[in-house]
């Protein structure tokens, strides 16, 4: 449950700390006193967006702080683990939010969290019901959510959702194939075909590109290459004083020296090796120089080949590898486009198979919903009797529809508030006061199996009064037996049913407005109920009436 709510510098609130208890906590006060600011502060702690306009005039920041004590932390701990936080220690959960003109800081158990994480915690921690939320009951999607929550159809919904995802994926592929204009498709095929043919005809190869570049460079410098090669041959074997002649002379001298000096044999062998090396180098240089094809025809071929490489890289990729990779991609796209009719037939066949599975899952989901619909109708009808609809009747109708994300069912809540009236859709006949009570009845039914620990009702009793107000108060007290309820109310009949009563008031001091919250005791509570009964000028009669109302309520509860 929510134990403590602290608010500082939020709008009219200067510095307020409010304690809550188990059961039904009622909050009362005159219009404009600041009751809704407490609910607004709680909404901030549950992930609602904030801005600097919320900061009290003259201050630089505002803050809200809530402390929850939880008996069962399983769902909360699961969310905490999912966002990377430690589980609750001893069931304690502390949420803080500080808002400045330039920043927004949020912590859970002293660890920083995102606004999205806070919203996820709020979904399993507090069920907020505002003064206009009862209108959501007219939304058929909300009605479906209520039925599914009551029926606990999670397993069937997950099974259906898995099949629906497959169905939609196939449908999207078929839609994409059908969406293209035939003329556009033909142009696209021609465009891709031209690209693929140009790349394939060129027969590109990264190694060949390198070889062509090197040969082109050699031929472009062929005259200079031949001159240099001849110079090498002259220096080694043909010119006057060439290296070869010197080596031969040295070899002859060593032949004589060996006779006088046996060690000279090693020198002779080395010179002989050098002579052989020189001869091999000369042959290699001569062969290379002779192999250069410097003809105009060869040069033209190399020019054309280099141009091909450069053109295709400029058009289709920075490197040969990238050009070839893109070519393969376009070739596959071309194949897909040319085979789209066959692919469309394949997808339609797959879709027919998946649709059968989808129908089966949808029918299983509908069967589960139909099994619980009558039970929900009966339970809500009983709750409605308790809050003034003695002859009212509530019904849940399920009609088949086209497959959608939540199933193949269209839900319609029907309502007959009085005896002798035909059942008609709730959205057609119900007044705002009637809708509020129907919403309370559905909340009362769902609360008995709902795991959310805290329920907040902000003026759910709007547009009702008298004995109906008392019935609503007793129903709220009944729901509060299994959940902590926080209820803002203008009705004394509802206020009298609370187990904890908080009164909100405002005062003006030194030209500034301050909101205050007082926990009422046995002495002060009748005065507040009397104010609600008779306004500011309550009399002894209204005070006595208030005391009697509180006594009767206590006895009735």
Strand intervals (E) in 101-187? 104-108, 111-112, 126-129
Q: Which domains does the chain have, with CATH numbers?
A: 1-130+453-520 (3.40.50.300), 185-338 (no CATH), 522-557 (no CATH)
DSSP, collapsed to helix, strand or coil, labels residue 205 as coil
Residues 6+ apart with CB under 8 A from 415: 392, 393, 394, 395, 423, 424, 425, 426, 429, 430, 434, 438
Q: What are the mean pLDDT values of the chain's consecutive 10-residue runs (557 residues total)?
A: 91 88 91 80 88 86 92 89 90 92 89 90 83 71 88 93 95 82 82 93 91 80 64 73 77 80 81 80 72 69 90 92 94 86 89 96 95 92 86 91 94 85 76 75 79 81 74 88 88 90 87 86 89 74 84 67
Q: In 234-295, which ranges are continuous DSSP H helix?
A: 243-260, 264-291
Q: Give residue 419's pLDDT.
A: 78
Contact status, residue 340 vs residue 177, Cβ threshold 8 Å: yes
CA-based nearest residue to 156, from 366, 354, 356:
366
Q: Give residue 335's pLDDT.
A: 87
pTM comes to 0.64
Q: Give residue 20's pLDDT.
A: 93
Residue 15 φ then ψ, to 5°: -155, 105
CA max distance for the chain? 152
Q: Give residue 451's pLDDT.
A: 72
Q: Give residue 63's pLDDT.
A: 92
In angstroms, the Cα distances linking 327 to 228, 309, 320 are 44, 14, 10
Contact status, residue 108 vs residue 67, Cβ threshold 8 Å: no
Q: Give residue 230's pLDDT.
A: 67
Contact status, residue 425 vs residue 124, Cβ threshold 8 Å: no
Query: What does DSSP assign to residue 88?
Result: P
Q: Give residue 232's pLDDT.
A: 75
Q: In 387-490, which ranges are continuous DSSP H helix?
A: 426-429, 432-447, 466-479
């Amino acid at each position: 449950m929510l134990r403590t709510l602290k608010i500082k510098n939020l709008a009219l609130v200067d510095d307020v700390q409010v304690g809550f208890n188990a059961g039904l906590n009622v909050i009362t006060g005159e219009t404009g006193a600041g009751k809704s600011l407490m609910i607004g502060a709680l909404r901030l702690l549950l992930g609602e967006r904030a801005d600097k306009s919320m900061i009290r005039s003259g201050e630089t920041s505002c803050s809200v702080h809530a402390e929850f004590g939880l008996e069962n932390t399983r769902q909360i701990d699961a969310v905490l683990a999912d966002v990377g936080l430690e589980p609750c220690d001893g069931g304690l959960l502390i949420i803080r939010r500080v808002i400045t003109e330039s920043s927004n800081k949020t912590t859970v158990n002293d660890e920083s969290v995102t606004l999205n994480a806070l919203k996820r915690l709020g979904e399993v921690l507090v069920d907020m019901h505002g003064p206009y939320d009862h209108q959501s009951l007219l939304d058929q999607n909300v009605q479906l959510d209520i039925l599914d929550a009551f029926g606990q159809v999670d397993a069937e919904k997950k099974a259906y959702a898995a099949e629906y995802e497959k169905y939609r994926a196939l449908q999207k592929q078929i839609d994409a194939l059908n969406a293209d204009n035939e003329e556009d498709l033909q142009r696209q095929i021609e465009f891709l075909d031209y690209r693929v043919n140009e790349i394939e005809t060129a027969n590109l190869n990264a190694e060949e590109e390198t070889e062509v570049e090197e040969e082109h460079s050699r031929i472009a410098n062929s005259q200079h290459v031949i001159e240099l090669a001849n110079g090498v041959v002259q220096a080694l074997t043909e010119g006057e004083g060439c290296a070869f002649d010197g080596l031969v002379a040295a070899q002859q001298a060593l032949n004589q020296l060996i006779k006088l000096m046996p060690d000279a044999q090693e020198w002779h062998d080395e010179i002989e090796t050098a002579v052989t090396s020189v001869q091999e180098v000369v042959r290699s240089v001569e062969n290379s120089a002779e192999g250069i094809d410097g003809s105009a025809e060869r040069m033209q071929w190399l020019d054309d080949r280099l141009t091909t490489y450069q053109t295709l890289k400029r058009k289709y990729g920075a490197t040969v590898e990238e050009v070839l990779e893109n070519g393969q991609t376009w070739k596959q796209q071309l194949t897909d486009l040319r085979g789209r009719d066959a692919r469309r037939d394949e997808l339609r066949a797959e879709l027919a198979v998946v649709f059968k599975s989808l129908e089966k899952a949808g029918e299983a989901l509908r069967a589960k919903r139909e099994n619980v619909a009558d039970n929900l109708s009966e339970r809500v009808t009983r709750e409605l009797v308790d809050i003034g609809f003695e002859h009212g009747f509530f019904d849940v109708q399920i009609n088949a529809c086209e497959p959608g994300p939540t199933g193949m069912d269209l839900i319609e809540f029907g309502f007959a508030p009085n005896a002798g009236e035909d059942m008609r859709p709730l959205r057609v006949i119900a007044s705002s006061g009637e809708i509020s009570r129907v919403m309370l009845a559905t909340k009362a039914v769902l609360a008995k199996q709902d795991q959310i620990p805290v329920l907040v009702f902000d003026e759910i009793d709007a547009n009702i009064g008298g004995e109906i107000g008392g019935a609503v108060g007793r129903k709220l007290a009944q729901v509060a037996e299994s959940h902590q309820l926080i209820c803002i109310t203008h009705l004394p009949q509802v206020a009298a049913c609370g187990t904890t009563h908080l009164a909100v008031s405002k005062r003006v001091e030194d030209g500034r407005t301050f909101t205050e919250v007082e926990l009422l005791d046995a002495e002060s509570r009748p005065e507040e109920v009397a104010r609600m009964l008779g306004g500011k000028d309550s009399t002894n009669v209204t005070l006595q009436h208030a005391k009697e109302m509180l006594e009767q309520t206590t006895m009735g509860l």
